[in-house]
């Protein structure tokens, strides 16, 4: 028996999985929240430092005239300008702390002020997006740091050294850049290490994880104990009771907990229902033996009656089989006895017609009618005999090499008197070379005879009949299509035309004669020969019956010769 997981194990698994998912979600949320808080804190520190450095820069710019003026009040340039003061202060600030401060420019006078990749991205943001600051976590000298770059605009004090005509030498000996007020003079770059904040973040996450795990474990234990007490234990008691009942102890009862921690309305209701069911089973079980004995006697009587009925049915079936065989033998004997004198009538009629004076029109017409009616009667008898032979399984297929040209020729010769009498036009068309086939010549002849007889019967005088012979080398089949210009068949009648004793509209049997066995026999013959037959027709537009049979080869002369050898 396939082992299944217990409810207790499933409960532990669900609780464990739920706690794990909650812990992971909480840690991810805490990490995201604290990382965002850390980045905001570093951003605020960087902005404060930027304000301080800008203030130093502005102080030096405001007091540059005082610095570069002698005691006598004359201008005495001492080489101390705002840019130099800002850079020196930034360098000193970097030396005395973990922070790094740089002043950078896209066209620096000092190569050390050339911006790096992150600072280039900041300048692009200033120029293209109109921002005044650019920040984020990035790598600097192989370590993750927080970087803050703020834009510095050209002010009026900057024009003394960087304005004027582009290329003109300023007081410090450098060519001027031709800046204008509002242009980007450069940027201040602050690099803040994140080692300490990240360590604090990791410590906080560990503390949160430990606290969350502790809380979740306590909740899980409480939940497990509660569910075990309120649900699992009563369910186990119920399972024990069910097993006892299954083993035949229908008097087993469950004790319903009342007024205890284990009691609940739902569990008490389940136990009460179980006890009621057990009582009903007990009543049924104790009265079952007498009912079983009673049912056993009734079944024995029913079996004896069935045996008697079966014997009667067997006798009736034997009688029906005997009667059916008698009917089949009788019809075969009568048909055979009718065919013999009918063949003689046809022979003597043909002989009498050949010796009769051709000028005696009345006699010739009467003989033709005798011959035609005899042919129809002979065809009816032959169809009846063939149907009986196929139905009784006495007709076995005798395959041999068959030349379709000869078979079609024999059929046309047999049916020619009827064609001549109705002044019909009969054509045999072969679209491509038709190979020899392996089939039963007698069955094939009977199928073609019925198809041609029907075509002659339902085609009015002056009409036409065509026989098309085609070969399909790819499919390995040959087809014989008999088409006429007769009365046609409606779509409804085409569905039943191949059934026995069916002749399209049954009123036609009075007009055209026949028993309705011809096409049914053609279908049975096509099945015996391993082929098929189909019809295409429209009312007043004629009909086309196509008999398709398997060929022994696909037009290969070598295959035919090997069969002959």
User: Which parts of the chain have pLDDT scores under 50?
Assistant: 1, 258-259, 505-510, 553-565
- Angle subtended at Cα 459 by Cα 454 and Cα 461, rounded to the nearest 5 degrees: 135
Domain ranges of the chain: 7-68+80-202, 396-564
Please, are residues 139 and 149 in contact by the beta-carbon 8 Å criterion? no
Q: DSSP labels for 395-427?
A: -----EEE-HHHHHHHHHHHHHHHHHHTT-EEE
Three-state SS letters, 249-263: CCCCCCCCCCCCCCC
Query: For the structural domain made of 396-564, what CATH number should be given?
Result: 3.30.565.10
Six token digits for residue 536: 């295409």
Pairing between β-strand 143-153 and β-strand 133-140 as defined by DSSP bridges: antiparallel
Q: What's the distance, CA 417 to chain centroid? A: 63
Strands, DSSP E only, in 342-458? 400-402, 425-430, 437-439
Six token digits for residue 217: 């474990």
In this predicted structure, what is the pLDDT of residue 251? 61
From CA 560, how far away is CA 565, in angstroms rounded? 9
298 SS3 class: helix
Torsion of the alpha carbons at 33, 35, 37 and 42, rounded to the nearest 10: -170
Q: Give the residues across from 149 on adjacent strands.
A: 134, 189
Residue-wise pLDDT tens digits, 277-327: 776 666 666 667 677 777 888 888 888 888 888 888 888 888 877 766 666
In this predicted structure, what is the pLDDT of residue 359? 65
Radius of gyration, CA atoms only, the chain: 57
Please, are residues 559 and 553 in contact by the beta-carbon 8 Å criterion? yes
Six token digits for residue 435: 């190979």
Does the global pTM surpass 0.75?
no
Residue-wise pLDDT tens digits, 115-164: 988 989 999 998 899 898 999 888 888 888 898 998 888 877 777 777 77
Q: What is the DSSP letter of 232?
A: I
Three-state SS letters, 462-511: CCEEEEEEEEECCCCEEEEEEEECCCCCCHHHHCCCCCCCCCCCCCHHHH
Q: To which H or E segment does residue 455 belong? A: helix 441-457
Residue 189's φ and ψ, nearest 5 degrees, are: -120, 120
In this predicted structure, what is the pLDDT of residue 25? 86
From CA 388, how far away is CA 395, in angstroms rounded? 9
In this predicted structure, what is the pLDDT of residue 554? 39
In this predicted structure, what is the pLDDT of residue 4? 61
Residues whose CB is less than 8 angstroms from the CB of residue 15 and which lie 6 or more positions away in sequence, other chains included:
220, 223, 224
């Amino acid at each position: 028996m396939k082992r299944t997981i217990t409810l207790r194990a499933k409960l532990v698994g669900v609780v464990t999985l739920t706690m794990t998912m909650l812990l992971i979600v909480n840690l991810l949320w805490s990490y995201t929240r604290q990382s965002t808080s850390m980045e905001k804190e570093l951003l605020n520190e960087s902005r404060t430092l930027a304000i301080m450095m800008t203030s130093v820069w502005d102080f030096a710019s405001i007091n540059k005239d005082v610095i570069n003026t002698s005691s006598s009040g004359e201008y005495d340039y001492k080489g101390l300008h705002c840019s130099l003061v800002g850079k020196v202060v930034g360098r000193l600030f970097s030396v005395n702390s973990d922070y790094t401060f740089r002043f950078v420019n896209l066209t620096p006078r000092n190569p050390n002020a050339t911006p790096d990749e992150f600072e280039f991205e900041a300048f692009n943001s200033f120029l293209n997006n109109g921002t005044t600051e650019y920040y984020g976590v990035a790598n600097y000298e192989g370590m993750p740091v927080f970087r803050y770059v703020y834009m510095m605009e050209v002010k009026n004090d900057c024009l003394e050294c960087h304005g004027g005509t582009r290329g003109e030498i300023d007081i410090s000996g450098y060519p001027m850049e031709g800046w204008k007020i509002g242009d980007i003079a450069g940027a201040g770059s602050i690099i803040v290490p994140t080692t300490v904040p990240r360590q604090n973040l990791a410590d906080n996450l560990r503390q949160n994880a430990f606290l969350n795990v502790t809380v979740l474990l306590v909740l899980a234990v409480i939940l497990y104990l509660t569910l075990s007490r309120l649900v699992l234990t009563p369910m186990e008691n119920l399972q024990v009771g069910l097993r006892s009942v299954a083993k035949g102890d229908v008097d087993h009862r469950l004790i319903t907990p009342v007024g205890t921690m284990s009691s609940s309305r739902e569990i008490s209701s389940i136990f009460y229902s179980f006890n009621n069911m057990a009582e009903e089973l007990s009543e049924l079980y104790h009265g079952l033996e007498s009912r079983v004995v009673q049912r056993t006697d009734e079944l024995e009587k029913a079996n004896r009656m069935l045996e008697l009925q079966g014997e009667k049915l067997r006798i009736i079936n034997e009688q029906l089989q005997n009667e059916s065989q008698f009917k089949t033998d009788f019809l075969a004997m009568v048909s055979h006895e009718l065919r013999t004198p009918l063949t003689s009538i046809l022979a003597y009629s043909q002989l009498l017609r050949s010796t009769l004076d051709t000028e005696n029109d009345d006699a010739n017409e009467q003989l033709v009618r005798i011959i035609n009616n005899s042919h129809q009667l002979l065809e009816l008898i032959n169809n009846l005999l063939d149907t009986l032979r196929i139905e009784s399984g006495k007709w076995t297929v005798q395959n041999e090499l068959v030349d379709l040209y000869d078979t079609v020729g024999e059929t046309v010769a047999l049916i020619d008197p009827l064609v001549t009498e109705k002044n019909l036009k009969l054509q045999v068309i072969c679209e491509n070379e038709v190979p020899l086939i392996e089939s039963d010549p007698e069955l094939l002849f009977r199928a073609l005879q019925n198809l041609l007889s029907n075509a002659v019967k339902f085609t009015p005088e002056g009409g036409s009949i065509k026989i098309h012979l085609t070969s399909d080398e790819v499919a390995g089949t040959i087809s014989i299509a008999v088409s006429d210009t007769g009365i046609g068949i409606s779509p409804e009648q085409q569905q039943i035309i191949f059934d026995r004793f069916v002749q399209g509209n049954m009123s036609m049997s009075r007009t055209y004669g026949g028993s309705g066995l011809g096409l049914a026999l053609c279908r049975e013959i096509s099945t015996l020969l391993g082929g098929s037959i189909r019809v295409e027709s429209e009312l007043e537009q004629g009909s086309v019956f196509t008999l398709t049979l398997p060929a022994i080869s696909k037009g290969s002369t070598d295959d035919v010769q090997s069969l002959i050898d």
